[in-house]
Amino acid sequence: MNPAPAAAPSCLVTGKPLEKIFSFGRMPIANGFLAPEQFADEYFFELAIGFNPESRMLQLTERVDERKMFHENYAFFSSTSAYMQRHFAEFAAKVSEAYLGESADPFVVEIGSNDGIMLQNFAARGVRHLGIEPSANVAAKAREKGIRTVSEFFDEKLAERIVAEHGQADAFLGANVMCHIPYIHSVFEGVKKLLKPKGVFAFEDPYLGDIVQKTSYDQIYDEHVFYFSAASIGFVAAAHGLELVAVEPQSVHGGSMRYVLSHRGARPVDASVRRQEDIERFLGLDRPETYVKFGRAVERSRDALMALLDDCRKKGRRVAGYGATSKSTTVTNFCGITPQHVEFISDTTPIKQGKFSPGAHIPVRPYEDFVKNRPDYALLFAWNHAAEIMAKEREFVAAGGRFILYVPQVGIEP
């Protein structure tokens, strides 16, 4: 087992000391699906959150080295959800219409471009583009689709090289990646250098307001270093001569926020920014007590889920997990879910199949196994894809199958 780092935590935005508010205990790498011969050497760290009131940033107090998470065997392939493919087609269309029209030869850069789920839409329109994707296996998938991709971690230095080679960008995009990167100042400084004077920086991530309101604590895991809000993004942007000019709530990933930024003064600030900041104060997102209360709600959610799973076990009901999500690693390990509670987890991603879930070591099996050997209950770890999955599983439900949900409340559906 690896030793825990001893350094006292500090806020990644302000550099000031950061107090731990809630700890989930020791956790493995959320996407670290593994084989039995790797169990003995599995890596663990303490998953805990802290809040800095000055920057309004909720963040992890301890972090995992990025090279342990993002590499040539990265298990998350963006294109596994048809709904997400449509979502990114719409995102790309919106950016094209709103921001690329003025440029004769537009250039779009995406951070964390994964298998090309977003950039494929620009490539199809013949728009000059560049993906930045350090995980080599998913980057290779994008290249197979004809998407130009650099397999490196984005930071200020890489931004300088991109500008030297390709010139500045009209749009710098990102989804579910900005919140992954602890060196946030280097990234924002890189964006500042990369953007044309009228360029836009548009990105989305799971939204702190949704996490608190829905007790969706499973968004908290190693890759998610930050839990953003309009207030915290505005704070970081201001330190780099950038400005938050619009926000737009999104339903994906259980509730996300899209942030649009530009150079300070380059574009008018939309009323949505002030409105969202007001909502955030109303929700108490600026106060540490909110996260103390959130911690208590998380414990109640855990207790209710385990009572339900223990009851299923006593009654001899078979439960299988649905979707070997990163989020499920926090749920299984924090709640104490074992292979005695959940027989296997069904997942459509080939690289996860035949392996075991991180920490809890529940077998991950192909979706075909779920269809062949339907359980009584499907514990919906991919609850953010509920609409897509429920539509696909009408037969399971018609045959008496039920879903166990735990966000926003623990319960059985339908």
The site for ligand TYD (CB under 6 A) is made up of 76, 80-81, 323-327, 346-349, 367, 382, 384-385, 388-389, 392
Length of the chain: 414
Cα torsion through 362, 363, 366, 367, rounded to 10:
-40
Q: Which of 176, 232, 333, 346 binds ligand SAH (CB under 6 A)?
A: 176
Contact partner, 87, from ligand TYD, ligand SAH, none, Cβ < 5-8 Å per class: none
Residue 120 vs 328, nearer CB to ligand TYD: 328
Residue 30 vs 108, nearer CB to ligand TYD: 30
Query: Is residue 195 within a helix (H) or strand (E), and if so which, with residue range?
Result: strand 195-206
Query: Is residue 281 within a helix (H) or strand (E), and if so which, with residue range?
Result: helix 271-283
Contact partner, 80, from ligand TYD, ligand SAH, none, Cβ < 5-8 Å per class: ligand TYD
User: What are the distances in angstroms from CA 139 to CA 67, 144, 164?
Assistant: 15, 9, 22
HSE-up (13 A, CA, CB side) for residue 115: 14
Smallest distance, ligand SAH to C-beta of residue 255, A: 14
Please give the angle made by the CA atoms of 90, 392 and 212, to the nearest 5 degrees. 60
Residue 226 vs 403, nearer CB to ligand SAH: 226
HSE-up (13 A, CA, CB side) for residue 390: 12
Residue 186 vs 290, nearer CB to ligand SAH: 186
Residue 56 vs 385, nearer CB to ligand TYD: 385
Q: Residue type for 55, please?
A: S
Residue 109 vs 335, nearer CB to ligand SAH: 109
What is Dmax (Cα atoms) for the chain? 67
Q: Quick check: 76 binds ligand SAH (CB under 6 A)?
A: yes
Pairwise CA distance, residues 52 & 71, whole Å: 31
Q: Quick check: 177 binds ligand SAH (CB under 6 A)?
A: yes
Smallest distance, ligand TYD to C-beta of residue 80, A: 4
Contact partner, 114, from ligand SAH, ligand TYD, none, Cβ < 5-8 Å per class: ligand SAH
Q: Residue type for 156, please?
A: E
Pairwise CA distance, residues 327 & 176, whole Å: 13
Q: In the structure encoding, which two tokens stand for residue 12, read together?
A: 């990644």
Residue 337 vs 389, nearer CB to ligand TYD: 389
Q: Quick check: 277 binds ligand SAH (CB under 6 A)?
A: no
Q: Which of 22, 33, 43, 70 binds ligand SAH (CB under 6 A)?
A: 70
User: Per DSSP, what are the bridge partners of residue 347?
Assistant: 366
Smallest distance, ligand SAH to C-beta of residue 232, A: 18
Residue 162 vs 225, nearer CB to ligand TYD: 225
**DSSP secondary structure string, 51-118?**
EETTTTEEEESS---HHHHSSTT----GGG-HHHHHHHHHHHHHHIIIIITT-SS-EEEEES-TTSTT
Smallest distance, ligand TYD to C-beta of residue 396, A: 12
Contact partner, 117, from ligand SAH, ligand TYD, none, Cβ < 5-8 Å per class: ligand SAH
Residue 153 vs 356, nearer CB to ligand SAH: 153
Contact 53, 44 (CB under 8 A): no
Q: Which residue from 172, 178, 193 is spatially nearest to 106, judged by alpha carbons?
A: 172
Smallest distance, ligand SAH to C-beta of residue 353, A: 19
Contact partner, 323, from ligand SAH, ligand TYD, none, Cβ < 5-8 Å per class: ligand TYD
Stretch 107-166 residues interacting with ligand SAH (CB under 6 A) = 111-112, 114, 117, 132-135, 138, 153-154
Smallest distance, ligand TYD to C-beta of residue 370, A: 9
User: What are the distances in angstroms from CA 116 to CA 74, 177, 407?
Assistant: 15, 14, 29
Which residues contact ligand SAH (rule: CB under 6 A)? 66, 70, 74, 76, 78, 111-112, 114, 117, 132-135, 138, 153-154, 175-177, 180-181
